[in-house]
Structure 1
Amino acid sequence: MKLILGVDAISPPLTGIGRYTWELARQYATGDYGFDALRFFSAGRWIADPSLLLSTAPKNAPRSRLKKVLSPPASLRKWRLKQGMRHSLFHSPNYFLPESADSGVVTIHDLSVFKYPETHPVERLRHFERSFESTLQRANHLITDSEAIREEVSGFFGWSKEKITAVHLGVPQEFQPYEASSLVAPLAEIGLTPGSYGLCVSTLEPRKRIDRLLDAYSELPLRLRETCQLVLAGSSGWLNDALREKIRRGEGEGWLRYLGFVPEVSLPALYAGARAFFLPSLYEGFGLPVLEALASGVPTLTSNCSSLPEVAGGAAWLVEPDNHDALREGIEKVITDDIWRVTAIQRGLDVAREMTWQKCARQTVAVYESLSGTRLRR
């Protein structure tokens, strides 16, 4: 089997889809999966080494005048790309097949663009309006991150469930419990101490319900907020002016720290040092931060909707994200109920142990095999 993996989502800093794409690329490039050929494709060009996409160098650096003069016309470039993709299976981990791919496998992570369009920037909505129907017409098979999204995709687009496969994501080994003594130095660099904070890792966007989390946390008993400050980490996102005002207010009152984007290398220590983790998102295709928290041995609260109960596997305290009282009470329980915490930590480690990127890659390759009728060596 000849495989082409789309790697357009690999861009620093890695988001959830970028992480998924990078892990598949890394697994395929370093593992023995028996591909007859493996190539990577992004934005109309072949990529020799996907790790180079993680460089912070500008992607659209101007080319020399000579290269522009000698470049072939667009029609010839398209023809060459189509020819280069013949007799290969194309997998796009990021919703869209390129125009040059006549068919392929597509990963749909969630349907938030269709279910909650008001929570997305206009540019993203227009991209789906222009290109997604064409992708569905050409796709041979769809992959989702969870059974919950598999059910949604089948119902929303009228696809047979036989043509959709759920493959859970994974968690790197770096996310694990650490001795508190080993966390003191790395956490001190950002002014934290092990066990003294609750954590939320999330992009600042409406469906994540960070505003609800802040509202609930602000009503915890003062002593609890003083001994367990809320730490919020994540990139800036969009449509969040009101949320940013709440963040400024919480920081001014002293119970909230907003770290902004945290480098990936620092995340395992940040997770492992937390007393509790919170992600009351309204809708997730998978919810990688929940799995990362469970793998780190951190008692976790998350939502009782979309894929999150499936990912948590009975290890997290589940709440209705828009139920203010239930969210506030759940936060307090996860921080203070020592009997529940002991059980939740062990259950979370058991759940996370079953979700690895190696397993994700193997199950994804099994989808390729089912389409090609070929059993690869692995």
Structure 2
Amino acid sequence: MKFIVVQIGARRDYAVPTILEKAGMLERFYTDICADVGLGKWLCAGRGLPVIGSKLQRLATRRLPPEIRDKTRTFTAPMLRHGMKLMFNRKNPADQFREHLRWSCDLGNAMARAGFDNATHVFSMFGEGGPLLPEARRRGLKVVSEIYILLSTERILAEERKLFPDWEPEQPDYSSISREFPDANVLLTHTDFAVCPSEAVREDLADNFGIPRERGVVVPYGMNPQLLELPPQPQQGRVLFVGTAELRKGIHYLALAAEKLAAKNIRCEFRVAGNVSPQIARRMECKHLNFLGRVPRERIAEEYQRADVFVLPSLAEGSAEVTYEALAAGLPVITTRAAGSVARDGIEGRIVPERDANALADAIEQLVEDRTLRDRMAKAARERARDFTWEKYGERLISALNKFKK
């Protein structure tokens, strides 16, 4: 098996192409732009320039692992055209999305023209590469797509925005816009096999999109093993949420749960580490939440270290990597099945129903008040995390891909 990997950006620090290269299974790596190869290498020299310097600074973080540099091909011309057009569509989400789809088609066509060499398979992140996928299948290659979030996410959020109006701005009908660009909308029609980070994603594909379970495999993600060495210093009642404070991640249910606990005089501090819009931060329902804003990676370890429990009441994820980090830091995890966590109910934490503030509040109260239970789950959390390093993720991924040889 030889793979062409198609990936936009530096997702998981280029883990998939690197894992495949180490296994002798990488033919080529196609990406938009990075700091080590092609035009991106020269653009990084302008990091100190006004206006564009901050964007180039972000580009400089896209560093390829040395193992895959020689097999990497970047497609910067479509990327630069895309960036220029977005500058004129900053305030219109629908137009931005249309431009993104045009770019996907442009990028995929350029990749298809670059060829396939001796590849037998294409590995695409969520259908990235658009037109490349049908061309690959036309040439007899198999297409493996990583589905890193529930495909039902847009529907779930549309329902939630009706239940909680004014929490977030109205969004365009992305599904309708996608149908305007059939060449970019090929994920479901041109995927032979799906790699899913959680059983929730695989079930969503089977139940709502007609992809049989046997065409999908579950490969959970991993975490940085350095977190396993972090000495816990839990402060009782310190509840940590890491991620963007938005409806998709259930911030409104955390706010409701915090209100219920305050009414019962349960002493808790709710710390929200992640971006938050003024629209949400100013809401009265969120008065018990301490919004920290975006916390740098070098400081987030301290938040894990001092937390008592970790909470992520998501409505739609793939497999939230922050839950792996929390487990590794020795934190009981209270989350939902939709979050795709490897935490198990009653062992490393609590799995509560989505959209249930009462169950969420009860789970938080239980772990904050019952110190013996909390400490037992904390110990189990760290042991569970040891089986989910990035090294073991690589082993699981290769094992899963080998099932697709036929």
Same fold per superposition (TM over 0.5): yes
Task: Tell me whether 1:116 sits opposite 2:159 in the alignment.
Answer: no
Q: Report what 1:2 is aligned to.
A: 2
Task: Tell me whether 1:232 sits opposite 2:272 in the alignment.
Answer: yes
Alignment partners' CA distance in 2, 1:9 and 1:123 = 25
Alignment partners' CA distance in 1, 2:295 and 2:395 = 30
- What secondary structure sits across from 1:198 in the alignment? strand
Deviation at 1:199, TM superposition (A): 0.5
RMSD: 3.8
Deviation at 1:295, TM superposition (A): 1.2
Q: Which moved more, 1:152-161 or 1:120-129?
A: 120-129
Counterpart pick for 2:403 among 344, 357, 370: 370
Alignment partners' CA distance in 1, 2:396 and 2:294 = 31
Within-5 A mapping of 1:222-371:
228-236=268-276, 241=279, 243-246=280-283, 250=287, 255-303=288-336, 305-306=337-338, 308=340, 311-312=343-344, 314-371=347-404
Segments of structure 1 that go 5 or more residues without pairing to the other structure are 11-17, 64-73, 184-192, 374-378
- Taking only the aligned residue pairs, the percentage that are identical comes to 21
Q: Report what 2:115 is aligned to.
A: 84
Q: Answer yes or no: is the 8 Å Cα contact 2:314–2:338 preserved in 1.
A: no
- Relative to structure 1, is the Cα distance of residues 24 and 175 closer, same or farther in structure 2, using a 3 angstrom cutoff? farther
TM-score, with normalisation over the residues of structure 1? Answer: 0.73
Within-5 A mapping of 1:31-42:
32-35=22-25, 37-42=27-32
Asked which structure has the greater RCO (Cα within 8 Å, sep 6+), the reply is: 1
Which letter does structure 1 place at the counterpart of 2:147?
I
Alignment partners' CA distance in 2, 1:224 and 1:295 = 30
Counterpart pick for 2:189 among 137, 156, 160: 137
Deviation at 1:95, TM superposition (A): 3.8
Deviation at 1:282, TM superposition (A): 2.5
Q: Answer yes or no: is the 8 Å Cα contact 1:301–1:334 preserved in 2.
A: no
Q: Report what 1:154 is aligned to.
A: 206
Count residues in correspondence.
332
Alignment partners' CA distance in 2, 1:368 and 1:204 = 35
Deviation at 1:91, TM superposition (A): 1.0
Q: Answer yes or no: is the 8 Å Cα contact 1:312–1:348 preserved in 2.
A: no
- Relative to structure 1, is the Cα distance of residues 26 and 211 closer, same or farther in structure 2, using a 3 angstrom cutoff? same
Which letter does structure 2 place at the counterpart of 1:294?
L
TM-score, with normalisation over the residues of structure 2? Answer: 0.69
Alignment partners' CA distance in 2, 1:354 and 1:172 = 12
Alignment partners' CA distance in 1, 2:111 and 2:339 = 40
Alignment partners' CA distance in 2, 1:76 and 1:326 = 46
- Relative to structure 1, is the Cα distance of residues 140 and 76 closer, same or farther in structure 2, using a 3 angstrom cutoff? closer
Alignment partners' CA distance in 2, 1:106 and 1:97 = 11
- Relative to structure 1, is the Cα distance of residues 353 and 212 closer, same or farther in structure 2, using a 3 angstrom cutoff? same
Deviation at 1:177, TM superposition (A): 5.2
Within-5 A mapping of 1:4-43:
4-10=4-10, 18-19=11-12, 22-28=14-20, 32-35=22-25, 37-42=27-32
Which letter does structure 2 place at the counterpart of 1:92?
S
Alignment partners' CA distance in 1, 2:208 and 2:156 = 14
Q: Report what 1:94 is aligned to.
A: 126
- Relative to structure 1, is the Cα distance of residues 79 and 133 closer, same or farther in structure 2, using a 3 angstrom cutoff? closer
Alignment partners' CA distance in 2, 1:281 and 1:307 = 5
Counterpart pick for 1:172 among 201, 214, 224: 224
- What secondary structure sits across from 2:58 in the alignment? coil
Q: Report what 1:67 is aligned to.
A: none
Alignment partners' CA distance in 2, 1:25 and 1:61 = 24
Alignment partners' CA distance in 1, 2:394 and 2:244 = 26
Alignment partners' CA distance in 2, 1:36 and 1:27 = 9
Q: Answer yes or no: is the 8 Å Cα contact 2:332–2:374 preserved in 1.
A: yes
- Relative to structure 1, is the Cα distance of residues 142 and 54 closer, same or farther in structure 2, using a 3 angstrom cutoff? farther
Alignment partners' CA distance in 2, 1:62 and 1:164 = 35
Segments of structure 2 that go 5 or more residues without pairing to the other structure are 45-54, 61-75, 83-104, 138-142, 162-169
Alignment partners' CA distance in 1, 2:306 and 2:295 = 14
Q: Report what 2:68 is aligned to.
A: none
